[in-house]
Amino acid sequence: MRKRIPIFMILLVFLFSFSGCYYFSARNEIKTAEKLLSDLKGSGGASKTPYEYCSAESFLYGAKLEFEHNDFKVAKELASRSRAASEAGLTELKKR
């Protein structure tokens, strides 16, 4: 019986450590997406690249909402989409 308790504890620690990874990666992705959206807004992206700007803003809103509901995996995916839309908008602005 004593051998099963440490294995259970190791498994429990292992599971908690992986669940925390999504939390931190989602939080970092949201911060990156916020910075890029701010850069896009500062560059006039709202009027010059409205599709990319609105997409980035909507995905970021969804990411924050999912993060508040502790769905970190979905929050990270939405923040990644927001980041990609902001990067596309900034790239489009540099072409002009």
User: Range with the lowest mean pLDDT among 18-22, 29-33, 70-74, 85-89?
Assistant: 18-22
Q: What is the mean pLDDT of residues 27-51?
A: 96
Tokens 């540099």 belong to 94
Identify the band that residue 4 occupies on the pLDDT scale cut at 50, 70 and 90.
low
In this structure, the dihedral spanned by the alpha carbons of residues 23, 41, 81 and 92, taken in order and rounded to 10 degrees, is -150
CA distance 72 to 91: 28
Q: What is the mean pLDDT of residues 43-47?
A: 94
Contact residues for 64 (Cβ-Cβ < 8 A; gap 6+): 30, 75
Give the percent of the chain with pLDDT over 90. Answer: 74
Do 82 and 59 form a contact (C-beta atoms < 8 A)?
yes
Q: How far apart are the first and last CA of the chain?
A: 70
Do 47 and 31 form a contact (C-beta atoms < 8 A)?
no
Sign of CA dihedral 34, 46, 85, 62: positive
User: Model's pTM, two decimal places?
Assistant: 0.79
Helix (H, G, I), strand (E, B) or coil at 1: coil
